[in-house]
Amino acid sequence: MYLKKLGPDHPRTIGSLNNLAMTLLDAGRAEEALAMLREVDESLTRKPSPLLRAACERNLGSTLLRLRRFEEAERALLAAHELYKSDPNPRANEKTAARLVELYDVWDRPADAARWAATTRPTNPPAP
Protein backbone atom coordinates (compact mmCIF):
# COMPACT_ATOMS: atom_id res chain seq x y z
CA MET A 1 0.00 0.00 0.00
CA TYR A 2 2.68 2.53 1.00
CA LEU A 3 4.85 1.61 -1.98
CA LYS A 4 2.28 2.75 -4.55
CA LYS A 5 1.05 5.73 -2.58
CA LEU A 6 4.29 7.10 -1.09
CA GLY A 7 7.07 5.58 -3.19
CA PRO A 8 9.97 3.27 -2.32
CA ASP A 9 12.02 5.83 -0.39
CA HIS A 10 9.37 7.08 2.04
CA PRO A 11 10.12 6.21 5.69
CA ARG A 12 6.77 4.40 6.08
CA THR A 13 7.47 2.26 3.03
CA ILE A 14 10.99 1.50 4.24
CA GLY A 15 9.74 0.63 7.73
CA SER A 16 6.99 -1.61 6.36
CA LEU A 17 9.38 -3.48 4.06
CA ASN A 18 11.81 -3.90 6.94
CA ASN A 19 9.03 -5.39 9.10
CA LEU A 20 7.82 -7.60 6.26
CA ALA A 21 11.36 -8.94 5.85
CA MET A 22 11.32 -9.99 9.52
CA THR A 23 7.98 -11.72 8.99
CA LEU A 24 9.54 -13.64 6.11
CA LEU A 25 12.49 -14.56 8.32
CA ASP A 26 10.14 -15.79 11.06
CA ALA A 27 8.36 -17.90 8.42
CA GLY A 28 11.66 -19.57 7.51
CA ARG A 29 12.09 -17.67 4.26
CA ALA A 30 15.51 -16.17 5.00
CA GLU A 31 16.63 -15.76 1.38
CA GLU A 32 13.50 -13.76 0.57
CA ALA A 33 14.00 -11.69 3.72
CA LEU A 34 17.57 -10.99 2.66
CA ALA A 35 16.47 -9.82 -0.79
CA MET A 36 13.89 -7.49 0.75
CA LEU A 37 16.42 -6.07 3.22
CA ARG A 38 18.78 -5.36 0.31
CA GLU A 39 15.96 -3.33 -1.27
CA VAL A 40 15.49 -1.46 2.01
CA ASP A 41 19.23 -0.80 2.08
CA GLU A 42 19.08 0.71 -1.42
CA SER A 43 16.23 2.99 -0.37
CA LEU A 44 18.18 4.10 2.69
CA THR A 45 21.14 4.92 0.47
CA ARG A 46 18.94 7.28 -1.52
CA LYS A 47 17.14 8.73 1.52
CA PRO A 48 19.17 8.27 4.71
CA SER A 49 17.49 7.77 8.08
CA PRO A 50 19.87 6.75 10.89
CA LEU A 51 17.33 4.91 13.03
CA LEU A 52 15.76 3.09 10.08
CA ARG A 53 19.29 2.22 8.93
CA ALA A 54 20.06 0.83 12.39
CA ALA A 55 16.91 -1.33 12.34
CA CYS A 56 17.71 -2.53 8.84
CA GLU A 57 21.29 -3.41 9.79
CA ARG A 58 20.14 -5.31 12.87
CA ASN A 59 17.54 -7.21 10.85
CA LEU A 60 20.10 -7.85 8.12
CA GLY A 61 22.44 -9.24 10.76
CA SER A 62 19.69 -11.50 12.11
CA THR A 63 18.93 -12.75 8.62
CA LEU A 64 22.57 -13.41 7.80
CA LEU A 65 22.95 -15.20 11.13
CA ARG A 66 20.06 -17.48 10.20
CA LEU A 67 21.82 -18.16 6.89
CA ARG A 68 25.04 -18.91 8.86
CA ARG A 69 26.92 -16.14 7.04
CA PHE A 70 28.66 -15.17 10.24
CA GLU A 71 31.20 -12.60 9.04
CA GLU A 72 28.55 -10.63 7.16
CA ALA A 73 26.18 -10.90 10.13
CA GLU A 74 28.88 -9.55 12.43
CA ARG A 75 29.52 -6.54 10.17
CA ALA A 76 25.80 -5.72 10.00
CA LEU A 77 25.23 -6.10 13.74
CA LEU A 78 28.27 -4.03 14.67
CA ALA A 79 27.10 -1.33 12.25
CA ALA A 80 23.65 -1.40 13.87
CA HIS A 81 25.24 -1.10 17.31
CA GLU A 82 27.11 2.03 16.25
CA LEU A 83 24.01 3.58 14.68
CA TYR A 84 21.84 2.85 17.73
CA LYS A 85 24.19 4.85 19.94
CA SER A 86 22.24 7.95 18.86
CA ASP A 87 18.87 6.39 19.79
CA PRO A 88 17.45 7.74 23.06
CA ASN A 89 15.91 4.32 23.76
CA PRO A 90 18.65 2.15 25.33
CA ARG A 91 16.61 -1.03 24.75
CA ALA A 92 17.21 -0.72 21.00
CA ASN A 93 20.92 -1.30 21.39
CA GLU A 94 20.40 -3.99 24.02
CA LYS A 95 18.52 -6.02 21.40
CA THR A 96 21.48 -5.62 19.06
CA ALA A 97 23.90 -6.71 21.78
CA ALA A 98 21.71 -9.74 22.50
CA ARG A 99 21.80 -10.64 18.81
CA LEU A 100 25.61 -10.34 18.88
CA VAL A 101 25.68 -12.74 21.85
CA GLU A 102 23.60 -15.19 19.82
CA LEU A 103 25.91 -14.79 16.81
CA TYR A 104 29.05 -15.45 18.82
CA ASP A 105 27.46 -18.41 20.60
CA VAL A 106 26.51 -20.06 17.31
CA TRP A 107 29.86 -19.10 15.75
CA ASP A 108 31.68 -20.75 18.70
CA ARG A 109 33.34 -17.55 19.89
CA PRO A 110 32.54 -17.73 23.63
CA ALA A 111 34.85 -14.88 24.69
CA ASP A 112 33.09 -12.48 22.32
CA ALA A 113 29.68 -13.79 23.42
CA ALA A 114 30.59 -13.20 27.06
CA ARG A 115 31.85 -9.69 26.36
CA TRP A 116 28.58 -8.72 24.67
CA ALA A 117 26.47 -10.55 27.25
CA ALA A 118 27.99 -8.31 29.91
CA THR A 119 26.46 -5.28 28.13
CA THR A 120 22.88 -6.55 28.22
CA ARG A 121 20.33 -6.48 31.00
CA PRO A 122 18.44 -9.68 31.78
CA THR A 123 14.95 -9.60 30.30
CA ASN A 124 13.53 -11.29 33.40
CA PRO A 125 14.85 -10.44 36.86
CA PRO A 126 16.47 -13.37 38.65
CA ALA A 127 14.19 -15.29 40.99
CA PRO A 128 14.79 -14.67 44.71
pLDDT tens digits along 59-107: 999 999 999 999 999 999 999 999 998 887 878 889 999 999 999 999 9
CATH number of the structural domain spanning residue 81: 1.25.40.10
What's the predicted TM-score (pTM) here? 0.87
In a domain, 63, yes or no: yes
Residue 62 CA from chain centroid, whole number:
6
More confident residue, 124 or 80: 80
Given a cut of 70, whether residue 125 has pLDDT beyond it is: no
Domain assignment present for residue 122? The answer is no
In a domain, 49, yes or no: yes
pLDDT on residue 57: 96
Output the pLDDT for position 78. Answer: 97
| Residue 128 domain-assigned (yes or no) | no
Range of the domain at 99: 2-117
Split into its structural domains, the chain has a count of 1
